[in-house]
Amino acid sequence: MRSFSIQRIDHVVLRVRDIEHSLAFYTSVLGCDVKKRRDDLGMIHLSAGSSMIDLVDVNGSIGRQGGEPAGKQRHNVDHFCLRVEPFDEQAILRDLAAAGVAAETAAMRYGAEGTGLSIYLSDPDDNQIELKGPALQP
């Protein structure tokens, strides 16, 4: 039995070639609003209903970690985030370890509800997943 259950997708992070062009698309075409800008990281957090879409400039500090820009033969999503309840770091880490899954210790990160603890892990195909608890700061 797991110590948590998935509530919803918290956010999706997209690596983009032209962050201002993508920002215009997501705000003007899809109706997202800017929640927070992190120009130091090359990241813009956008509202998407109760979730978020994060745009990451491929030339920014986070974007460069993903290698070349996306194309037909390259992946574009950095990671996806699942909101979980309850968020008991030690219990979650124990569950993951018992399943043979390595994970980082929790860190404070910004998400759709605000800043709170989350844990990063990878699936069998090395897709990065973030398990996020409730916001501790708005």
Tens of pLDDT, residues 7-19: 999 999 988 889 9
**What's residue 72's pLDDT?**
67
Q: At CA 57, angle to CA 56 and CA 58, rounded to 5?
A: 110
Which of 15, 24, 20, 96 has the alpha carbon at shortest distance from 54? 15
pLDDT band at 30 (very low <50, low <70, confident <90, very high): confident
Hey, what domains does the chain have and what are their CATH numbers?
5-132 (3.10.180.10)
DSSP secondary structure string, 77-130? Answer: EEEEEEEEES--HHHHHHHHHHTT--BPPPEEEEETTEEEEEEEEE-TT--EEE
pLDDT band at 125 (very low <50, low <70, confident <90, very high): low
Cα-Cα-Cα-Cα dihedral sign, residues 114, 130, 117, 19: negative
DSSP secondary structure string, 59-77? Answer: TSTTGGGG-SPPBTTB--E
Q: pTM for the whole thing?
A: 0.75
Spatial separation of the C-alpha atoms in residues 35 and 11, rounded to whole Å: 12
Spatial separation of the C-alpha atoms in residues 71 and 85, rounded to whole Å: 35
Tens of pLDDT, residues 44-88: 999 988 899 999 998 988 888 877 777 666 667 789 898 999 999
What single DSSP character describes residue 10? E
What single DSSP character describes residue 137? B
